Structures are given as C-alpha cells and as structure tokens.
Structure 1
Amino acid sequence: MNLSRRSGGIIPALSNTRPREWLRAAFGASLGVLFSVWLCQEVFGLPVALLLIGPLGASAILLFAVPSGALAQPWSILGSYLLAAVVATAVAHYGGHTLSMAALATGITLLAMFVLRCVHPPGGAVALGVVLAGPALQGLGEMAILPVMLNAAALLASALLYNNLTGVRYPKRPLPAIDLHHTRDRSPELRVGITDADMDAALAEFGEFVDITRENLAQIIRRTEGSALRRSMGEIRAGDIMSRDLRWATPDTTVKEALQLLQHHHLRVLPVLDAEQKLVGIVSLVDLADFAGRAGGRRLLRRGGGQKTPLSEVMSSPVVAVDRHCHVVDLVPMLSSRGLHCLPVLEQGRLVGLVTQTDLIAALHRDLLQHLD
C-alpha cells in the first residue's frame, strides 16, 4: 500500500512534473523575487520592499511553478494586486490599521477578484500587508498602490521572460483556430465528442473554483482521448497503411507532365525527389490550380499547358513528413485539420511511402469493424 493510501488521502499522489521542471521553477522564482525586491528597494527603499516581500514570494511560486494555472495568468496577478491595494488603502483610510479592518479588506478583495476574474491568492496577503503595514508603507498613504504594482509588474515581466526562454509557453493563450476553408465550420476533430459548451456546463455544475484554464482542460481531454484511442487501436503505424508503389516527379518535371501523371493515375499529389532520391517538395492539384489561376499561368496553359514551367517553381516546400513508426492516431490531426491530403513516409531520409486521407479512412474503418466483431 502506498503512502498516500496509508495516510488516508492526506498526502496527494506524486506530481506529474519532473525534477528538471522543479529546478527550472525554483531557479526562476528565486530570480523573479530577487529582481522584484531589488527594483522596489531602489525606487521606494528597503523598508517598503521588505513589507511587501511575503505576497511576492507566494506569487512567484504560482507564476513559475504552475504557469498554466488560471491563478497564475497575467491578469490574475495584476488585477488582484491592484484590487488589493485599492481596497486596503481605502479600508485603512476610513477604518484604521487594525486586524478587523485587515480581515475586512481581505474579504472585499476576494469578492472583487471573483467578479473581475482575477483570483490570485497572494492578493489576500497584499490586502493584509497594506492595512497592517509598518510606518514606511503607511507613510505613503494612497500612494502605497505604487510599490504594490511595481512588484506585480516586475515579477510578471520576470515570469514572461524566464518561462518562455526556458521552453514554457506563458501566458497560456488558446491556440489560434486553423481556418483553411474560410468558413464558420469548426475543425473536423471538434465537431463530435466533447465541446466547449460541454466543458462550460461541467464546470458550472462543479460549482467550485477550478485552477485550470478551459484551453488547458481541453488539451488534457484531447490527449486523454488520443491515449485511449491509441491503446484501443493497438500498434497500427504509418508503415502498415502507407501506399508503397509510388509515382513521383523531379524539380525539373514540367507542369504539363505533372498534370498528365496526376490524371493518368487518378492522384491528387505527387512527391518531388531530387537526383539523390531525397524528398525536396510536393505538388498537388491545388498547387497546379493556383499556378493556373495566376495571369502568367493562364497564358502558359493556353499556349501549351505549362510545357516549360518546372515543378520547382510550383511545388510546396518544405514538406511535412513522418516516419514509418508514427502511430495512426498521430496521423489523424495532421490529415484532418492541417489541410494536408497526404503525408510522405521517410526512412533514413528516403521516401518509402505515402499515407493519404483514403489510407487513413480505410485503416479507421477496418479497426471499427474489428471492434464490432
């Protein structure tokens, strides 16, 4: 029996983060606090900086250790610090610097953070600190807002710089939707299954505050679905479903010759290989239609169908490719929402096959039939 079970659930399960991430976050938090306190000290003096250092340390843990959390986003820290400073200075001005006023300021700040969607726990500590502050901060009066916001801005700037330089995307923004067809349709993988409305309804039913952005929740759900599908489909790889008897062209192949190849073999794409059989590009009917749509292309086609125009001027390059061990589940988003009609399969840099949308549909259909048996 593990420790978390023997402790009756008091000790949580092990974190999914790695020790390397622990070190990254710890070093970043140290740098962020050091820079923020130093800057506040330079502007407002050491006594003021020391009075505000407690909330700063708590905020640093959120911004560097859990930067994907809703509580750690830029508006959370800026909004909460501003609300806390404004509320605390107002309460202290009218009610005095007492414990009861500090508690009142904390409660009002929390309510305001909920309303303005900037919940950030250290904001409560800011409210307490401003009301119960020593003479150095009390002497600033309403201007106590300035060192509070300087701390928030300096720590946020540190987190923005450090997190992104160390490979952690911050702040967490929803990935832009890919609108290949310029319509209002959602991407194919989002038209079935769990929707944003479903997640909103579940969170509303849950009722409590959940420290995760909806975008990150959606990513967790999609990855969980992918993991379950990968387990369900077994070891079906690109090498199992790819087409092997390929037709290809070279960079010197003309547009007319490429059209003839595509028409004769009823293909939509042609890989383009150089003299060493390396994949250097790919040409599709869309590329050729785009060429024909240009004024020069139309004239060429009328005069002879692109007899002199090489594919090197028309093909798409570089090419998105996979290796033969790529799982079929990983192929689905590439061929469904990225506008790709096929994926070249490479082995040691050489083209060994193509996985088309038709190949993928056939594999998914076969797997479905097997599960129905």
Structure 2
Amino acid sequence: MQSLTRILGSWGPLAQRPSGGELLHSSLGAALGLALSGLLVWLGAADKLLFLFAPLGASAVLVFAVPNSPLAQPWPAIMGNTLSALWALLLLAALPHLPSPWPEALAVGGAIAVMLLCRALHPPGGAMALLVVLAAAKLVPLGWHLIATVFLLTLALVLAGVFYHRATRRTYPLRRTPPAQARQPTAGRLALSNDDLAALLTRFDQSYNLSPDDLGELLAAAEEQAIQRRFAAVTCGEVMSAQLLTVAPTDSLETVADLFHRHLVKSLPVVGPQGELLGLLLRSDLFDWLWEGHRRSRWRQLLRPRTPAATVRKLMRAPEICVQEATPLGELLGTLARHTVAFIPVLRGNQLAGLITRTDVIRALLKLR
C-alpha cells in the first residue's frame, strides 16, 4: 500500500501553487504576446504572408511563464522553432515516401539533435517538426515561406516578452556573466565560481532547467535562510562586547589621537551625555586631519591666529549600521558579509549598549557548532 501511495505521489504535481500576481502576469503576458503575433498575421492576411501555428502557443508558455529557464531564452526560442521546421522540410524532401510512423519519429528525434547541436533546445521545436510532417500536404509546398513565417512570428513573440517583462520589472532575457566576473564568487556570497555552478548543473542534468546565475542565487538565498533559522535564538545583545571605549563630541582631537595611539582600534563610537550614540570617529579621518595640519609651513603655523582646539564633533560621521539588542544574530550575518565596517553599534533604545565586531561573531559561531 505504501509503495502504491509513493508511486501515485510521484505522478502528482510537484510545482508550488502560483500566487495571484504570478498567475495574472503569466497568462496576461502570453495573451498579449500571441495577440501581437495574431495582429501581424492579420496585417499580412491580404497576401497570406503569415499564419499562426500551434507550437507558438507552447513557446508563449515558456517565454511568459518561465522566463528564467534557459529553454525560454531568445536564441533557443527563435532558432529552436526555425531549425526544427527546416529539419522537417529537409527530411520530407530527402525521404518523401517513408511510411508512417518513421517520418514523425525521425522529424522529432532529428529536431532534438539539431537543437542540441546548435545550443537551441526549445520543447515547442519538437512540436514544430511534428506539425510539418502531419500537415505536409499544406506546409511542404510553402518551402522557405514556412521558415520565414516561423522565424518572424517567434521573433515577434520573443520581442513582446522582452518589453512585457521589462515593463513589469522582470529579467528577460537572462544576462550572460562577463568572463571577468565568471571566476568570481556568485554575488559575492558563495565560494563558487560560475564554472563550479555550471558543473553542478551538468552533474545533476539540470543545464536546461536553470542557469548558473539562477543556481547561485538559490544557493545563496538558501544559505542565508539556513543561517537565520539556526541563529534565530541568539540575539546581538548576547554576542556584543559590553566593555566600551568611547569619546564625547566635545573631546579634543589631540586627546583622541593619543587614545588611538594607545589602543589598536580603527574607529571609536561618539556618545552624548546620556549615553546616546551620536556618531563614529574613524582613525583614518583623524590621521588625514592631522596630516593636513602638519603640512602647513612652520611660519604659517606661527603667524596663524590662535584658534580653539578642534573637537571630535568636527570629524565624526553617522554610523552606517546600527542594531538593537534583541536583533537576531542571523539577520546580522548577511549585513556583515556585504559591508566592511569595523564594528556594529548595538543600541538599547537610542543608548549605546555595546559593539559587535567580526571577532565576536566568529566566537559565537564556534560556540554554536
């Protein structure tokens, strides 16, 4: 009984239920794409230049419902249909008296081989080859006119897909990763190059279902989701360093320079009288300021009227990132991966409660292993 249930389950639907927006986006796009193709047929009706063909509907499903699939890209769509029609015509011309079912079988099998060789695998191309054989009496006499029709209408459908997806802020066609970037980790988040991802797709026979960029995005998203779930129970307040070295906005820069000299830190938090975080002072900003001051000639420094000592307020800058004590550590890991900050201030309300450095995060990761 369990084996029967398993067999029946394997024949059931595997795809997730689409959202309302995805359902409307795909169906409306396919309808508009075929409407454009139908309009071109209507414009050429007087001279019977163009005519709709059934596999175009299957191409519309790929172009508008699964635009990220390598099978739906412009080259496979246009050339897959066109080459399949051309193959079927050549087959019927070479073997006009071949008995059924051999013409049908050779047309579809040969079309698949041609599309694979030309890197243009497009499932509707098999239907296109079969259609030419089944309707040979009407289609074969058209010759090159049939090839032009298939090419032009598929091109029109693909162009409709390009404009439609761009108008709805979808990516189509897929953009190739430049060779210079192909050797870099995908999206800066994975220690895998595009060549590694392509090898994985080939290993699991998924080269025609996903592109390396798609697989990289999925792996990176899955990795982030797993990290967030694993460290959801650990808060930033549990990981932060509570022993703080801070400065006030009224402290003189000369005093802070001595503080930087005594402590090997790259930046210091600036806090107000109530412990509220006001900003950050970077060691690099302070040293640049000091260097500009020493570059003046000795005579200009002596002749310069005495001015009040510069304070931290002059050079402090707003912090790039802040988190609250209750923020889960998992939410912070992705932020640290994308930014090069020395530390992240942890707040209790608007007051500075502690700091999180990369060392603190590594220590927490090792404890949770």
TM-score (ref. length: structure 2): 0.69
Aligned match of 1:78: 78
Give the greater-gyration-radius structure (CA): 2
After superposition, give the CA deviation of every residue in 1:27-63 in whole Å (9 maximum; x if it has no partner): 22211221233234424669665442x2221111112
Aligned match of 2:295: 302
Residues 165 and 279 of structure 1, relative CA distance in 2, 3 Å threshold: farther
**Counterparts of 1:246 and 1:342, CA distance in 2:** 12
After superposition, give the CA deviation of every residue in 1:126-152 in whole Å (9 maximum; x if it has no partner): 233345557886564213332222222
**Counterparts of 1:326 and 1:177, CA distance in 2:** 39
Aligned match of 1:127: 129
Kindly state the Cα deviation for residue 119 of structure 1 after the two structures are TM-superposed.
Answer: 1.4
After superposition, give the CA deviation of every residue in 1:325-367 in whole Å (9 maximum; x if it has no partner): 6543343343235544444567999987654323322322332
Give the alignment partner of residue 222 of structure 1, picking from 204, 220, 223: 220
Aligned match of 2:305: none
Aligned match of 2:145: 143
Q: Secondary structure of the equivalent of 1:211?
A: coil
Residues 114 and 318 of structure 1, relative CA distance in 2, 3 Å threshold: farther
Q: Secondary structure of the equivalent of 2:12?
A: coil
Is 1:44–1:147's contact at 8 Å kept on the other side of the alignment? no
Residues 174 and 51 of structure 1, relative CA distance in 2, 3 Å threshold: closer
Query: Are 1:29 and 2:30 matched, yes or no?
Result: yes
Aligned match of 2:65: 65
Q: Secondary structure of the equivalent of 1:118?
A: coil
Aligned match of 1:371: none
Is 1:173–1:215's contact at 8 Å kept on the other side of the alignment? no
Could you list the runs of 5+ residues in structure 2 that have no partner in the other structure?
302-308
**Counterparts of 1:324 and 1:14, CA distance in 2:** 40
The amino acid across from 2:171 in the alignment is R
Aligned match of 1:162: 164
Q: Secondary structure of the equivalent of 2:10?
A: coil
Is 1:41–1:48's contact at 8 Å kept on the other side of the alignment? no
Kindly state the Cα deviation for residue 122 of structure 1 after the two structures are TM-superposed.
Answer: 0.8
**Counterparts of 2:154 and 2:324, CA distance in 1:** 47
Is 2:232–2:329's contact at 8 Å kept on the other side of the alignment? no
**Counterparts of 1:283 and 1:64, CA distance in 2:** 52
Kindly state the Cα deviation for residue 111 of structure 1 after the two structures are TM-superposed.
Answer: 0.7
Residues 357 and 21 of structure 1, relative CA distance in 2, 3 Å threshold: same
Aligned match of 2:39: 38
Aligned match of 1:367: 368
**Counterparts of 2:149 and 2:103, CA distance in 1:** 21
After superposition, give the CA deviation of every residue in 1:86-115 in whole Å (9 maximum; x if it has no partner): 323433444459875454333222112222
**Counterparts of 1:263 and 1:215, CA distance in 2:** 46
**Counterparts of 2:296 and 2:348, CA distance in 1:** 41
Query: Are 1:153 and 2:146 matched, yes or no?
Result: no
The amino acid across from 2:8 in the alignment is S
**Counterparts of 1:139 and 1:348, CA distance in 2:** 80
**Counterparts of 2:311 and 2:49, CA distance in 1:** 72
Residues 90 and 177 of structure 1, relative CA distance in 2, 3 Å threshold: closer
Is 1:249–1:258's contact at 8 Å kept on the other side of the alignment? no
Residues 289-368 of structure 1: matches in 2 within 5 Å? 302-303=295-296, 319=320, 327-336=328-337, 338-343=339-344, 355-368=356-369
Kindly state the Cα deviation for residue 121 of structure 1 after the two structures are TM-superposed.
Answer: 0.3
Residues 112 and 263 of structure 1, relative CA distance in 2, 3 Å threshold: farther
Kindly state the Cα deviation for residue 18 of structure 1 after the two structures are TM-superposed.
Answer: 2.4
Aligned match of 2:16: 15
Residues 176 and 195 of structure 1, relative CA distance in 2, 3 Å threshold: closer
Is 1:48–1:137's contact at 8 Å kept on the other side of the alignment? no
**Counterparts of 1:279 and 1:44, CA distance in 2:** 73
Residues 137 and 243 of structure 1, relative CA distance in 2, 3 Å threshold: farther
**Percent identity among equivalent residues?**
31
**Counterparts of 2:350 and 2:47, CA distance in 1:** 60
Which has the larger displacement, 218-227 or 255-264?
Answer: 255-264
TM-score (ref. length: structure 1): 0.69
Residues 94-105 of structure 1: matches in 2 within 5 Å? 94-96=94-96, 100-101=102-103, 103-105=105-107
Count of matched residue positions in the alignment of Structure 1 and Structure 2: 350
Is 2:38–2:52's contact at 8 Å kept on the other side of the alignment? no
Could you list the runs of 5+ residues in structure 1 that have no partner in the other structure?
369-373
**Counterparts of 2:74 and 2:346, CA distance in 1:** 42
